[in-house]
Chain A
Amino acid sequence: MTGDPSVAHDTKHAHAHPSGATYLKVAAILTIITVVEVWAYYIPALVASPLFNPSLIILSAAKFLIVVLFYMHLKYDHKLFKVLFTGPLIIAGATIVALLFLFHQLKISF
């Protein structure tokens, strides 16, 4: 709380944040992905496919990334924040995967 907001101008501020148009585009993409996901949920043939779960996870990961990169402007911000976020994210992801493996919810076949 010591930091005074008026000097919060980080030096990298030069590369401007994306404009309103970008934000709208991003929103559109997010909506489309969501619609696709929900649509796929209602097609039994797709649900039955072994690729269903992986592709849904990829789609949601894509949404995740887009929001983080654009809305949370990680793409434009200081490198430090990328480190502060990706480090924990990797550990968190690895922990989930390890736990699912340990509880036999993920089966790895050699």
Chain B
Amino acid sequence: MASIAAPTTAAYASGENENTGIWSWITTVDHKRIGTLYLWTALFFFLVGGFEAVLIRTQLMRPNMGFVSAETYNQLFTMHGTTMVFLAIMPLSAAFFNYLIPLQIGARDVAFPRLNAFSYWVYLLGGIFITLPILFKLAPNGGWFGYAPLTTNRFSPGPNIDFWVLGLQILGISSLAAAFNFITTIINMRAPGMSLMRMPMFTWMSFVVQFLVVLAFPPITIALFFLLMDRFFGTTFYAIAAGADPLLWQHLFWVFGHPEVYILILPAFGLVSEVLPTFSKKPLFGYNVMVYSGIMIGFLGFGVWAHHMFAVGMGAVADSIFSLMTMLIGIPTGVKIFNWIATMWSGEIRFTVPMKFAIALIALFTIGGISGVMHSSPPADLQQTDTYFVVAHFHYVLFGGSIRGIFAGISFYYPKMTGRHLDESLGNWHFWLNFIGMNLTFFPMHFSGLLGMSRRIYTYDAGQGWDLFNMMATWGTYLLVVATAIFVWNFVRSRTRGAIAGNDPWGGATLEWSIPSPPPEYNFAQIPEVTSRYPLWDLKAPEKTAGIDHSHADAMTITDAHAVPVHEETERHTAKELGIPMPYPTVKPLVVAFSMVVMFCGLLFLRNGMFAVAMTITIGGGAAMVAGLYSWLTAPLE
């Protein structure tokens, strides 16, 4: 992790004497450092997931290929899906939650800094736990939605699925802890005057996402717990001999699974909603509607889950209801698309790299959204489900949408995080190769799907009419490898060699651009008082915000907070100089996270009948966790 050491930028070089040793990263409770850790870790897992995709595509390049075995392939696609969803996109979003939310709402940190560190460590350890087995060819092989009864002992007797069950359980804890933290942060840590309807759109979408996490993870926790009990303790939740109904797993999984896909996309929507106005020199069009549609998408997201199950025979009534609910979601999503276009309308559009990614998101997500609506019609879906048409759909929304939004976000906020710009021309290469590669990879899948190619097959026979499409997809993937490599190079190199960026390199409207890049540990020397939705434009370009309401926070809260009007902070001090109390660094969250993971690991020994060993490790881990918690909770924060 040494490579994660703080960027040595101009600002850091300019006398700020921060502790940058590895220990400082292990004990950090600073939301920005934790955000950075999330970013690096999640990018690493993105590469791992991408590497798995490359192996998948190589195997599928031609019919009847023998590049990897069936068993390996099944592990690869399971881990590819699991890695991308749980270890790449969610934590990439979390990186932005961590880094940005406090800056955007004018706070010095999140509500519970140590809990935040805990979330990260649980994520890291959980990620390692679930990924490591692939090196031993023991990786989970039940697909990313792990349908029972295939995942029960009877049909998957090896330890593969154990890693999946325990790993997801661990990762769920990380997401839940983070969600409680951010809900509290957003409700309660906003600077004076920053009413809910003045929050930046990224913060808003993140806010919605936290509620989705809080409500969607419990069902999968329970579903996984049942599976865990079945696998380790012989319960009968999914045991077919006991009369279990395998649809129980499917329903519980998708009650989680569908909100999950909005967990994956809404942060990207939020990032794009920051980028588009900035480079159009215009405020976001229809802010209120954007907020409401985001809430609407989140809310409706809980009522559509069974559209993943149109082929299971739920009956005509249920199919119809879920179909209609699913179609409804197209409306608020469309509203977002149109508002983004309207945001650019009559603006001065600058085609910077982040802007290109944001525009491309609109173009590509729409394609994925339309194929989503095609799925939402159950009879039509009977020809599409479990084919490459679905694979095309979700890569357009995920890779075309989420990943693109995240790339937009990374190139947009890189200067804020490091104090230096990413290289523009490398960025352009990345963008174009990525754009072409993505369409070359995933567009042909629409055809192979509709022409009968089912998903999750490690091989297919010659002469089925799919050869060309698969060949295209594989070459597209190789282009993506080149594009990604350029990105990685740019990302790593620019930390030390990029052009120096000031506080506000893009002309942003929100608070994060009012402080130095990278921000000092305390973020805001003085808590700003916000009087409109675009505080920094109020300051720098008042003519832009003349048309909107301005008002001050009520007097009482201001005195409480010692708030001052928004201003640009140009000087850097240490927190000590300013007398700002900062949370103590502490290793305790890591200790608790580690003991928790140990506790889960113990269960693995049950598989070999080592009951005593398993119980010793599990109970030992649990006890260490409780002890750690006590010591954490009784130690002062700052």
Q: B119 CB to closest chain A CB, in angstroms?
A: 14
Residues from chain B with a CB closer than 8 A to the CB of A51 are: none
The yes or no answer to A65 lying at the interface (CB within 8 A) is no
The yes or no answer to A36 lying at the interface (CB within 8 A) is no
The yes or no answer to A22 lying at the interface (CB within 8 A) is no
Q: Are A2 and B245 in contact (CB under 8 A)?
A: no
Which residue of A2, A95, A102 contacts B638 across the interface (Cβ within 8 Å)?
A2
Complex-state Cα separation, A102 to B310, whole angstroms: 13
The yes or no answer to A99 lying at the interface (CB within 8 A) is yes
The verdict on A1 contacting B187 (CB below 8 Å), with A87-B211, A102-B314 known, is no
Which residue of B215, B255, B637 contacts A1 across the interface (Cβ within 8 Å)?
B637
Q: Are A2 and B255 in contact (CB under 8 A)?
A: no
Complex-state Cα separation, A87 to B255, whole angstroms: 16
The yes or no answer to B399 lying at the interface (CB within 8 A) is no
Residues from chain B with a CB closer than 8 A to the CB of A91 are: 215, 302
Complex-state Cα separation, A1 to B583, whole angstroms: 10
Residues from chain B with a CB closer than 8 A to the CB of A95 are: 219, 255, 302
Complex-state Cα separation, A2 to B598, whole angstroms: 29
The yes or no answer to A16 lying at the interface (CB within 8 A) is no
Residues from chain A with a CB closer than 8 A to the CB of B306 are: 102
Q: Are B251 and A1 in contact (CB under 8 A)?
A: no
Interface string of A77-92 (1 = CB under 8 A from B): 0001000000110011
Closest A residue to B189 using CB positions: A2
Complex-state Cα separation, A102 to B318, whole angstroms: 7
Interface string of A55-68 (1 = CB under 8 A from B): 00000000000000
Q: Are A80 and B187 in contact (CB under 8 A)?
A: yes
Closest A residue to B112 using CB positions: A1
Complex-state Cα separation, A2 to B114, whole angstroms: 10
The yes or no answer to B247 lying at the interface (CB within 8 A) is yes
Which residue of A88, A98, A101, A103 contacts B247 across the interface (Cβ within 8 Å)?
A103
The yes or no answer to B260 lying at the interface (CB within 8 A) is no
Q: Are A88 and B215 in contact (CB under 8 A)?
A: yes
Q: How large is the interface on B (under 10, 10 to 19, 20 to 34, 35 or more residues)?
A: 20 to 34
Residues from chain B with a CB closer than 8 A to the CB of A103 are: 245, 247-248, 251
Within 8 A of A (CB), among B603-638: 633, 637-638
Residues from chain B with a CB closer than 8 A to the CB of A102 are: 247, 251, 306, 314, 318
Residues from chain B with a CB closer than 8 A to the CB of A99 are: 251, 255
Q: B107 CB to closest chain A CB, in angstroms?
A: 10
The yes or no answer to B512 lying at the interface (CB within 8 A) is no
Q: A82 CB to closest chain B CB, in angstroms?
A: 13
Residues from chain A with a CB closer than 8 A to the CB of B637 are: 1-2
Interface string of B520-537 (1 = CB under 8 A from A): 000000000000000000
Complex-state Cα separation, A17 to B116, whole angstroms: 33
Closest B residue to A95 using CB positions: B255
Closest B residue to A87 using CB positions: B211
Residues from chain B with a CB closer than 8 A to the CB of A80 are: 187
The yes or no answer to B111 lying at the interface (CB within 8 A) is yes
Residues from chain B with a CB closer than 8 A to the CB of A92 are: 215
The yes or no answer to B296 lying at the interface (CB within 8 A) is no
Interface string of B125-156 (1 = CB under 8 A from A): 00000000000000000000000000000000
Interface string of B564-608 (1 = CB under 8 A from A): 000000000000000000010000000000000000000000000
Complex-state Cα separation, A98 to B306, whole angstroms: 10
The yes or no answer to B214 lying at the interface (CB within 8 A) is yes
Within 8 A of A (CB), among B358-381: none
Complex-state Cα separation, A20 to B211, whole angstroms: 35
Which residue of B109, B214, B314 contacts A2 across the interface (Cβ within 8 Å)?
B109
Q: A2 CB to closest chain B CB, in angstroms?
A: 6
The verdict on A1 contacting B114 (CB below 8 Å), with A95-B255, A95-B302 known, is yes
Complex-state Cα separation, A102 to B255, whole angstroms: 13
Interface string of B213-247 (1 = CB under 8 A from A): 01100010000000000000000000000000101
Complex-state Cα separation, A1 to B115, whole angstroms: 9
Q: Are A2 and B111 in contact (CB under 8 A)?
A: yes
Q: Are A88 and B214 in contact (CB under 8 A)?
A: yes
Q: A33 CB to closest chain B CB, in angstroms?
A: 28
The verdict on A2 contacting B251 (CB below 8 Å), with A80-B187, A95-B302, A102-B318 known, is no
Residues from chain A with a CB closer than 8 A to the CB of B112 are: 1-2
Residues from chain A with a CB closer than 8 A to the CB of B219 are: 95
Residues from chain B with a CB closer than 8 A to the CB of A88 are: 214-215
Residue pairs across A and B with Cβ atoms less than 8 A apart, 20 shown, are: A1-B111, A1-B113, A1-B637, A2-B113, A2-B583, A80-B187, A88-B214, A91-B215, A91-B302, A92-B215, A94-B302, A94-B303, A95-B219, A98-B303, A99-B255, A101-B318, A102-B247, A102-B306, A102-B318, A103-B247
Beyond A2-B583, A88-B215, A102-B306, 16 extra complex contacts between A and B, CB < 8 Å = A1-B114, A1-B115, A2-B109, A2-B111, A2-B112, A2-B637, A2-B638, A87-B211, A88-B214, A91-B215, A94-B302, A95-B219, A102-B251, A102-B314, A103-B245, A103-B247
The 10 closest A-B pairs by CB, nearest first: A1-B637, A91-B302, A1-B112, A91-B215, A88-B215, A102-B318, A99-B251, A95-B255, A2-B637, A102-B314
Residue numbers of A with Cβ under 8 A of B are 1-3, 80, 87-88, 91-92, 94-95, 98-99, 101-103
